Structure 1
Amino acid sequence: MKPLITTIGALKELATGLSPDAIGTSSTLLLRTGALVDFIVARGDSISGPRVVVMRPLNEVEVVVPDGLGSSRASVLSRMASFVERAQAPGGIQLPRNWTSYKYNSLVAFYADARSDPRSTRWIAEPLAGEPTDVVFWTSTDNERELDLDRFALVPRELPKGWDQDFKGAVQEVNARSELEVVKPNSDVEISLAPIESSLTKGWTYDEWHAAISRDQRQFVDAPVDKSIRLRGPAGSGKTLALTLKAIREVTSSRSRGSSPRVLIVTHSWSLAAQISNSIDSINGAPIPEIDVFPLLEIARTLSPQYVNDESGFSLIGEDSFSGKQAQLDEILDVLTEFKETDWVTFRAQASEVLRRRIDSEDIDDRFALAWDLSIEFGSVIGASAIFPGVGAELRYLQLSRATWMLPLESPGDLKVVYAIYSRYVESLDRRALLTSDQVLVDLLSHLETHSWNRSRRSQGYDLLFVDEFHLFSPLERQVLHYLSRDTSIYPRVFMAVDPRQSPSEAFIGVAADETRSSSASDELLDDVAQYELTTVHRFTPEILRLVKHVHHEFPTLDLGHDWEIDFSNVESSKESGAVPRLICAGTAAGEESDIARAVQELYPRGRLALAIVESKQWRRYSALAARLGESKKHHVSTITSRGDVEALASRARGLVVGPAEYLAGLQFDTVLVAGIPDMGDNFTALSEKSRLLSLLYLALSRAERDVRVFTNNDDGGAVSVLDRAVANGLLKKEQGSQV
């Protein structure tokens, strides 16, 4: 193959498991084929950022990674992105010991994959002089003799030329693409997905909405603002709409009294912030200058002095994207491997038998599960407690109270092991000039506790704070909210929309994390909090609601407390009755894919359609299926791998949307096909893992308006018990799928 020019962002996006064949369906990536080189770039890339040149002298099948490594493509791509990031750090590139790197002048050879042995494939790469540092992946080899880099250095090597302008054009094109490319199929299969803004506001005015909303919603909107309010409700009950209407009401009411309040609506993502901002403009007929709508992380960047004029060269990892989470997990996996090969022998005797088994395991799924648990511990426990490696830090960690949702650590020895791994993790990030969102928020909190902010908040603070998806906010983030109010003489007035069951992955931990330490219990900072509950679901049919209720009741017993729990016994649907959701059970994974393809063919002309993948580990297989579905040109297929992709879908989209369930939040479809459901039986010893997967199943089901079809196959264990019980209760209609 001819050389490929790509970027760190594109490598990370591909590392999410997106099949190379599905690049054309991605709203984030752009593939451009040239006469001498090919380009793969990502939305958000900069023409001044580092470029990655992959020479591909031996590639015949794989687009980026060496042939033969397709089965571990995500791991290889993540390591490539990590290498390029490390090359940007001042003082020369430093690689983890388990990469087994060799250097000669500017050439570097290292294992291409985390699963390494003496005969594993190695990259031969070269960081080029310049600012930023471009990187060339010259070739790969699994031959030990070719690791004599001084000989390789004598081989004539020539970079492709004349591609700079084409690269700039590709980057400009992907960033200028304000809407997804639309395939122009026959009119009988062309379906429009309404923009989020239109689906929420319908072009109605405030008065029209106030008259049309439910009694429960209107009660919340009209409630006095002398105390904080927690608005609880299941998916589809109109919490975001109610928050938006109340923010508009409070501003217009204050204007009539001759005052001008400052109002902040806080979200967890830019996509939701854009949705709410557009809704305000539509309902009001014009922007409302008194209302700011931002993700909390953007507020941190705006208010923290160290980030307002940041010249440190540090960049954020894991801001709000699937690829960011994958990058963090890969970093933890690397640190785990290095720790196991070095310091583990010192700590092993102190650790419990459970933790020893987890660290000693060579099973790749066990390693990913441990990395996931550690990522939660690092972010929601250690990071939220503002513990940084240094003198006295380990003792502070050992003295933290433990809650039931946290990683089970049975002894002080277990805690010391985790702290040692955490210290390596932070050191690795610092060495590569990378920041996590938790670190940024800790810095913000430090600033908010200063006399300087206490003076500034009178002009820069807010009178009213609205928080959508409050269940997604960690204890650290909730504590930050307390300091954003303007008047220090009264408790902050915060209006929160809550649905704990809709919280994917580590977001669930944020709900349970209130008991980690006293200062993180945000309700203690809010004085008296009124409770309002929405009991009418407007999005989906009674049949879908009954299935959603069933999944809700399947959650393990958790100490959420009365303030958090939703009473589903009173929740009803305002929609007309529809079809009973269906469970299609195939004999094989291939058979399941055939069943999904037939369902797409049948349902595509009827309305908006989504394929929601519950377990992200299975994303690669289903993204390849998405690519095959898109090849027919009869269906326009869009893949979504981050919350940022939602903005593109909100602008305009057609046909089938395929993505991990957690990134379909904020979208709604006529029909949702649900797949990628792993075993959730008794073999799941971790309560948090079962809760996470049930949260994602709950989220996937609640995206549908009229119809739900759930797909399973015997190769992956068949239908899980929660679905079998739904069949027994008449909530799912079971059908036999393809058996070959």
Structure 2
Amino acid sequence: MIKTLIIDEDTVNVLSYASIKPLWFNDYKIPDSFEKRIKRVKINDKLFLISSKTTLKSKLLVIKVDNNGVFSELDEKDRSIAFDRVITIALSQFRESISPGKGWGRYVSGKKLSIYATTRTQKNKKRLYFDTSPIDTNHIYAYALSSDTNGFDNIEVDESLFLDSVTLIDEAINSNWQNTAEADDKTQYGIELTEDLYRSFGEHFTFEEWYKNKLTKEQRLFVDKSYDEPVRLKGAAGTGKTLALAVKILKDAYRFEAEGKKKRLLFVTHSFVTAQLVEDMLDSMDPERNWKSLEHVKVKIVSLYDLAQELLNYNLKKFTPISKDGKEGRKFQFEILEEVLTSKLQEAKFKIGVLGKCEEQFKDTLENAESRKSLLREILNEFACVLDAENIVMGSINGDKYLTSSRENWQMHLPTEHERRAVLELHKGFRKYLKELNVLSMDQMIADLNRYLMSHEWNHICEEEGYDGVFVDELHCFTRPERMVFHELFRLNKAFETKKIPLFMAYDIKQSVDDNFICTVKKGSGSALLKSTNVGKTDLVELTKVFRYTPEIAKFLGDLDGSFPALDLASEWNELTLEANTTSGEKPTLTLYEEPKDLIDSVFKIASRQARMNSGKKTVAILCSNFDLFDEYLNAGRVKKYYEPIESRDDVTKLGRLKGKCIFSMPEYVAGLQFDIVYLINLDRVEVDEENPSCGAYRRFVSRVYLGASRAREELHISACESRQGHSPILEPALNSRSLLLS
């Protein structure tokens, strides 16, 4: 009987993209046909799944799998779920770009960690228990499954079993492969190994091949930039901004290594999923993964929120951020604010004494459940960029000043003291709700991080812990306080006051589906966009050549560009001019349906069939542009069999396993990814306010359409409903120029 399963770091990564069925847990066999990437070695009652790269220094995941192990009391289906969670927790320790799922009930005490083993129900509350540094090693040990809710003290840790396992790693490395014979059906052992996520959605070249033969002249210009000044990389979706950043950080890392220079390079993203994609991208460009073990150069890839948690040592405290993913965290915060407002509206003191004194439009909008969502997002932005950033709370001196002080142009329109008091009351309720959940908001954490980076402690350690170059992707997703962080992350930051710092930033404002970036701009000043980074004048490289989608899709995006409202952003809001570097394809199409039910019945069937054709070689996505309709369609039972949902950025990691399946999501959840065929649904006239075309809701809708349409590589199909007043007017320029055809 196997007592422990020992998996090295590289194999953990491979298994994270595997589709695993209950049969696999009988003997953990690995098909010999998968390029010999996983070596299976059994020594007594210990089973090793390791790679050819495993050394005595490799990090290991040790799983207790005997009769009292982590899978012992789970049914067949739940074992697969639990194993996937064990793999994710291991990756979160081995790779900073990975984060546990949002509903896993993560609890930390010192180096001990626990999560729910499966989806939590009234009948199933079993938890998995981990030691993230057993016997002070850099390994991770999954040691128990228990329903005990009294914490870690009652759960026994068999350290001798762990020690006996890791001491055999040398013997396992030097043992022969013990994989099973090759089978015609790779799934007969209960496991199907897939390509990693980046290889599923991109090409596989080394970074030298990318640099010498594949990059455009504009991309190479950026990659060759020196560390003498900050550089911003601007480009539309599909122009390869992330790719250029990835090639540059690898090229620079190897140059510094060859020169024997001690350098620390940081790649920061807004989302932990994007960080994972970037890490996969670097692994794809450097198949031996030598970039992770350079002698002189340290390369770190991390979301800003993971970085904040690390610097602030939240892992050692009994509270956590609401999320470590920017997009997901703000979604949770929106849901919390909705609950707080609903509760406040039941209080006469707030409804009459506070809200009742506000202007009618503000009051009526908040009281209307259908129309207040846009206003709530603006209030959350006020929380992020003003209240939490400047530590303004109800009843404080700062709070009193907030009620009467003048406001800058970029701030939310709150004309009188009464509207500001209403916002402070909601902020007070919001903070209380978070405290009861024992979590911090994303903005509270960033505010803490900004204060920490100005502290005496950071001043003492920044020479060792700071960075010599910082690369920022998705700059358009970061709030003003978040952008203030980057300047302070450099080594001996004060020395940079007399010379420019090497901060490399990639962005596309038109992909910003919220106003966190745009709201920081004073009227008529595009340069104010980057002022909050505190880096002074920046050099600009602009990408105009597209190689991710067809010329026909590029032409449609160019026509869509004319629908963006004027935002006084000067040079930062240029007319979109794209040159496609790809082969021609079909023109995008628009299909009108009578009712939403007709739309989903047709689109989901067609998309599912296309995903299954040609042995699943085509990737197909249905993207919904409306939050409420997305939730409604997810609950439509008759179409569930046709798709796999991607309901958050957390879910993106499972895309590599969905070969031959259509996915259903929203544009912001799949940002950065590309699909062969995209169905962009419900681009209806009711989505925009034609009487107020410059409003934030209008701009956000156009950005969401732009983001979704630019996910298509070969085919783009758009749909709308007659019952929702037909197609959106933002499509008229494309219809008139025939870059979009009515089918």
TM-score, normalised with respect to structure 2: 0.70
CA contact (8 A) 1:336 1:421 kept: yes
Q: Tell me the amino acid that sits aligned with residue 394 of structure 1.
A: G
Q: Tell me the amino acid that sits aligned with residue 204 of structure 1.
A: T
Deviation at 1:210, TM superposition (A): 2.8
Deviation at 1:732, TM superposition (A): 0.9
Q: Give the structure 2 partner of residue 377 of structure 1.
A: 382
Give yes or no for the alignment of 1:525 onto 2:534: yes
* Structure 1 stretch displaced more, 233-242 or 323-332: 323-332
Deviation at 1:543, TM superposition (A): 1.1
CA contact (8 A) 1:474 1:511 kept: no
Give yes or no for the alignment of 1:446 onto 2:451: yes
CA contact (8 A) 2:646 2:669 kept: yes
CA contact (8 A) 2:271 2:326 kept: no
Q: Give the structure 2 partner of residue 258 of structure 1.
A: 260
Check 1:209–1:473 CA distance in 2 against 1; reply closer, same or farther (3 A cut). Answer: same
Q: Give the structure 2 partner of residue 579 of structure 1.
A: 586
Among candidates 215, 218, 226, match of residue 217 of structure 2: 215
Q: Give the structure 2 partner of residue 476 of structure 1.
A: 481
Deviation at 1:226, TM superposition (A): 0.6
Among candidates 418, 423, 430, match of residue 425 of structure 1: 430
Residues of 2 paired with 1:33 and 1:390: CA distance? 51
CA contact (8 A) 1:675 1:711 kept: yes
CA contact (8 A) 2:303 2:324 kept: no
Which ranges in structure 1 are unaligned for 5 or more consecutive residues?
Answer: 1-31, 57-63, 65-127, 134-182, 736-740
CA contact (8 A) 1:300 1:441 kept: yes
Deviation at 1:472, TM superposition (A): 0.9
Q: Tell me the amino acid that sits aligned with residue 681 of structure 1.
A: D
Residues of 2 paired with 1:520 and 1:219: CA distance? 23
Residues of 2 paired with 1:708 and 1:210: CA distance? 32
Residues of 2 paired with 1:130 and 1:204: CA distance? 49
Q: Give the structure 1 partner of residue 289 of structure 2.
A: 286
Q: Give the structure 1 partner of residue 274 of structure 2.
A: 272
Give yes or no for the alignment of 1:503 onto 2:512: yes
Give yes or no for the alignment of 1:345 onto 2:347: no
Q: Once the two structures are superposed, what CA deviation does each residue of 1:589-619 show, in whole Å capped at 9, x if it has no partner?
A: 2221233035325633262111011112111
Q: Give the structure 2 partner of residue 597 of structure 1.
A: 604
Q: Tell me the amino acid that sits aligned with residue 618 of structure 1.
A: L
Match of 1:465, SS state, is strand
* Structure 1 stretch displaced more, 386-395 or 244-253: 386-395
Deviation at 1:38, TM superposition (A): 14
Give yes or no for the alignment of 1:720 onto 2:739: no
Map 1:575-724 → 2, pairs under 5 A: 575-600=582-607, 603-604=610-611, 605=613, 607-624=618-635, 628-629=638-639, 631=641, 637-650=643-656, 653-678=659-684, 679-682=687-690, 687-724=695-732
CA contact (8 A) 1:237 1:536 kept: yes
CA contact (8 A) 1:612 1:658 kept: yes
Deviation at 1:308, TM superposition (A): 5.1
Which ranges in structure 2 are unaligned for 5 or more consecutive residues?
Answer: 1-72, 86-99, 107-112, 125-146, 153-184
Give yes or no for the alignment of 1:336 onto 2:325: no
Residues of 1 paired with 2:418 and 2:726: CA distance? 40
CA contact (8 A) 1:502 1:698 kept: yes
Q: Give the structure 2 partner of residue 360 of structure 1.
A: 367
Q: Tell me the amino acid that sits aligned with residue 615 of structure 1.
A: N
CA contact (8 A) 1:640 1:658 kept: yes
Deviation at 1:374, TM superposition (A): 2.2
Deviation at 1:368, TM superposition (A): 3.3
Q: Tell me the amino acid that sits aligned with residue 671 of structure 1.
A: I
Match of 1:497, SS state, is strand
Residues of 2 paired with 1:129 and 1:262: CA distance? 43
Give yes or no for the alignment of 1:386 onto 2:391: yes
Residues of 1 paired with 2:272 and 2:660: CA distance? 22
Among candidates 554, 557, 560, match of residue 566 of structure 2: 557
Residues of 2 paired with 1:509 and 1:427: CA distance? 24
CA contact (8 A) 2:321 2:439 kept: yes
Q: Give the structure 2 partner of residue 13 of structure 1.
A: none
Deviation at 1:565, TM superposition (A): 2.6
Residues of 1 paired with 2:223 and 2:532: CA distance? 21
Check 1:588–1:38 CA distance in 2 against 1; reply closer, same or farther (3 A cut). Answer: farther
CA contact (8 A) 1:323 1:641 kept: no
CA contact (8 A) 2:607 2:621 kept: no
Residues of 2 paired with 1:732 and 1:526: CA distance? 42
Residues of 2 paired with 1:414 and 1:442: CA distance? 24
Give yes or no for the alignment of 1:225 onto 2:236: no
Residues of 2 paired with 1:366 and 1:318: CA distance? 27
Match of 2:689, SS state, is coil
Q: Give the structure 1 partner of residue 555 of structure 2.
A: 546
Residues of 1 paired with 2:592 and 2:506: CA distance? 37
Identity level (%): 25
Give yes or no for the alignment of 1:730 onto 2:738: yes
Deviation at 1:330, TM superposition (A): 3.0
* Structure 1 stretch displaced more, 399-408 or 649-658: 399-408
More relative contact order, 1 or 2 (CA 8 Å, 6+ apart): 1
Residues of 1 paired with 2:149 and 2:209: CA distance? 59
Q: Give the structure 1 partner of residue 21 of structure 2.
A: none
CA contact (8 A) 1:614 1:697 kept: yes
CA contact (8 A) 1:193 1:652 kept: no
Deviation at 1:540, TM superposition (A): 0.8
Deviation at 1:211, TM superposition (A): 2.3
Q: Once the two structures are superposed, what CA deviation does each residue of 1:386-434 show, in whole Å capped at 9, x if it has no partner?
A: 3244421323433666455644322222112111221121122223322
CA contact (8 A) 1:479 1:520 kept: no
Residues of 2 paired with 1:267 and 1:500: CA distance? 15
* Structure 1 stretch displaced more, 698-707 or 332-341: 332-341
Check 1:401–1:470 CA distance in 2 against 1; reply closer, same or farther (3 A cut). Answer: farther
Residues of 2 paired with 1:53 and 1:428: CA distance? 22
Aligned-residue Cα RMSD (Å) equals 3.6
Q: Give the structure 1 partner of residue 244 of structure 2.
A: 242
CA contact (8 A) 1:197 1:275 kept: no
Give yes or no for the alignment of 1:463 onto 2:468: yes
Deviation at 1:670, TM superposition (A): 0.9
Deviation at 1:302, TM superposition (A): 1.2
Among candidates 274, 296, 299, match of residue 307 of structure 2: 299
Q: Tell me the amino acid that sits aligned with residue 309 of structure 1.
A: L
Deviation at 1:588, TM superposition (A): 1.5
CA contact (8 A) 2:384 2:479 kept: no
The count of corresponding residues between Structure 1 and Structure 2 is 567
Match of 1:619, SS state, is helix
Q: Tell me the amino acid that sits aligned with residue 510 of structure 2.
A: R
Q: Tell me the amino acid that sits aligned with residue 709 of structure 2.
A: L
Check 1:659–1:405 CA distance in 2 against 1; reply closer, same or farther (3 A cut). Answer: farther
